[in-house]
Structure 1
């Protein structure tokens, strides 16, 4: 029988993907998907004019074939310049930046698809390109170096993932027009830094995913207690859950040196946990271990993993650091699982998710009334539901939140969540100095607790210490740049800048809060006030109309009443008056 002939051809391959795709989707999934469709529609005519063929598109990428490298590079440059113009009209949180890799190589042809090393190299080149940039293989560069008048930079030999031999790579300097929209790369902190990525659930039952989430949560908390270690918050890490993203890209997006990843498998009363500590710059494994234990030993295993990470990152601190987690674990793994699942639901937002979270937490408290974290988390769920008007009697909502926070603190003085929630409720009731003391206690126990930094900033804002509030909320944003509560984070940071009369600096943050959660009327208030101070009256009117569709009509007198006794009340109201909001 004759062997079927395999079709091969030499072609120019362009691979492109969206930089920070997971972050964009985590902040605004529907809006990002819509903008990507619009951008691709604008790019298609450019591809056609250069005789390109779109082979396939993925959620965040596109593969295109060209008859020549010259056509591919000319198309890429025009695409990047088009994207720069389109991005200039958007706020930073909405900008889409493509990274492009171009290779000249042989491909296998299967119907309309193309496969092989030629395609793989283009994809890897795209992975090392800067956002808004273009990288070429040497084979592609040789075809265009004397034919396209642009600036090329030799990046030297690069080792690309799953490509056997190093490849010489060249970068095209498209110009400031194409790259000005790129978000600034987060600098590495001045101390060791790490993100605990969501552990994979390898159990047969997908319902056991909460075990993996719980291990991730607990390891993040344990590492956050170490003062010499900068730890990215849990909510930013969970943006990457179930997503195949290169660890170097994640480290670059979050501005950290190390990443911890792993997996959890449960079978009956047995559990297997694996962990790997990875260098975010080189993707090399620094430490790896596997633990086979009884299910009830899960907390001991988490402590052992924490110890091993400490020893691997800072060996000289291993002997002197009190790295054992200062926690009082629950009476059973079942209680722990209920709390873990509740936290996940709270982070998903929405009345139904919040109600289910409260149900799980009340069940956990029934089983173990002395588990402080359950009371503190219930306090947070109730506080959030009250803030978002999920409850009719807001005074009673805040009272219930305060009761559970105080109960948590009586049960465990070393629980940072308890101190934070006591502080939040004190600040809500206008007891600013007592609130500040509780927030400081929370941060003494957990220096990398991003939400506690934000809550502390909120209390400082209400107490009139605006510059301190700006500094504290900036820390929270750095520790959790992709947080599911990003609307809350950017609102409070923007409010602090607004209160300090730094209106132009405040504007992008209060805009971002509306992008993060366009259904919460409260986020619009700060944006409208800021627009009023800056004389952006038409924009203020547009946002007022949008705001009044999702909440009761905005009135200055209502806001003054709600913020009575808070230091930023008058500057807030002043901006609303300038924006034309009725008294």
Structure 2
């Protein structure tokens, strides 16, 4: 996790087996959070417990336990690492957001502005995205090479464009790719920036070769983050590899089942199942997404198309009516600007929308 400074194991091992005060550990190592744990063994079974503590206050941020079999120690190590990293990353992010919100506005730096932008970004609403965009632009003004803020700005601009909350669609496409390019240039080792760039280049530019390269690089650097797995999955979906996208998204859900952006992961899954022609799954997931985040106009389109392909025309037309209320500019001609690697994907998508009653 590139945004976290981690103390080397030799320093942390000096506290092994000792009764220590977490506050003292935090002061001596100069860290804000301490991850501690224990191992108990019974025969060939092992139970590992872990907890993440805010050193300054002693507050528990996260705790969990993991059971495993020592018959394959390396597999167990990999699984524990994946589980711990996947769990503590969003926990740390929430803790840091809380910390930034207690600071007076006069002392906000680029990092604090970035953190304050995340909650409105997570709302997946037009107003939330506008607020997030303002904070992210302020962060980038303070630090033009802030890769995380630039990646979040690309994400925000792209989703505003997809949902019809930017009047000039072409400009939205251009800005999304530009912010993504700047995020990658600022830090080519930032897995989230690489994954966001992969998403942007595939969805808004149709540059699938570059997008796949970026997605693969991001997954090699940080495979245990939903912020990497989820945007990388979109690349595979729009590139015509639905099953590969589904695999990535199921791992993402397992890594962070309560992540604030699970609606985006479910929306991606609904889309992946649509192109896999599993329309019932698209309907199930699509309705779930809209119950959690009613502003997901992208999900409305795939839900309507899936219902139409299932010959549930009345239901499909109800979704189209909702879509036109939320995004009056929606049309078949606008939908044809979507970037898919294969013509059969466009035919399936537009065919379903036309059958559902979306006007030309």
TM over 0.5: yes
CA deviation profile, 1:426-480 (whole Å, cap 9, x unmatched): 1121011110110111111111121322222211121112222222222223333
1:348 maps to which residue? 123
> Is 1:458 matched with 2:229?
no
Residues matched between the structures, number:
291
SS of the counterpart of 1:360? helix
| TM-score normalized by the length of structure 1 | 0.43
1:127 maps to which residue? none
2:149 maps to which residue? 374
> Is 1:477 matched with 2:248?
no
For the structure 1 residues 487 and 566, does the alpha-carbon distance in structure 2 shift closer, same or farther, using more than 3 Å as the test?
A: farther
Say which structure is richer in helix: 2
1:549 maps to which residue? 325
Distance 2:266 2:167 in 1: 26
Q: Conserved in 1, the CA contact under 8 Å of 2:206 and 2:340?
A: no
Distance 1:561 1:290 in 2: 48
Distance 1:451 1:558 in 2: 28
Distance 1:286 1:449 in 2: 18
Q: Conserved in 1, the CA contact under 8 Å of 2:238 and 2:340?
A: no
Cα distance, 1:520 vs structure 2: 3.7
1:335 maps to which residue? 110
1:514 maps to which residue? 290
> Is 1:575 matched with 2:331?
no
Distance 1:438 1:573 in 2: 28
> Is 1:497 matched with 2:259?
no
Q: Conserved in 1, the CA contact under 8 Å of 2:205 and 2:339?
A: no
Q: Please provide the CA RMSD for this pair.
A: 4.0
Cα distance, 1:277 vs structure 2: 4.7
Distance 2:336 2:53 in 1: 57
1:14 maps to which residue? none
Say which structure is richer in strand: 1
Aligned mate of 2:225, from 437, 449, 459: 449
SS of the counterpart of 2:336? helix
For the structure 1 residues 342 and 537, does the alpha-carbon distance in structure 2 shift closer, same or farther, using more than 3 Å as the test?
A: same
1:110 maps to which residue? none
For the structure 1 residues 498 and 287, does the alpha-carbon distance in structure 2 shift closer, same or farther, using more than 3 Å as the test?
A: closer
Matches within 5 A, 1:128-167: none
> Is 1:424 matched with 2:225?
no
Bigger Rg over Cα: 1
Q: Conserved in 2, the CA contact under 8 Å of 1:276 and 1:285?
A: no
For the structure 1 residues 337 and 561, does the alpha-carbon distance in structure 2 shift closer, same or farther, using more than 3 Å as the test?
A: closer
Cα distance, 1:581 vs structure 2: 4.5
2:100 maps to which residue? none
Q: Conserved in 2, the CA contact under 8 Å of 1:535 and 1:579?
A: no
2:86 maps to which residue? none
Cα distance, 1:522 vs structure 2: 2.7
Distance 1:536 1:444 in 2: 42
CA deviation profile, 1:120-142 (whole Å, cap 9, x unmatched): xxxxxxxxxxxxxxxxxxxxxxx
For the structure 1 residues 385 and 529, does the alpha-carbon distance in structure 2 shift closer, same or farther, using more than 3 Å as the test?
A: closer
Cα distance, 1:407 vs structure 2: 2.1
Which consecutive residues of structure 1, in runs of 5 or more, have no partner in the other structure? 1-215, 223-261, 264-270, 294-304, 322-331
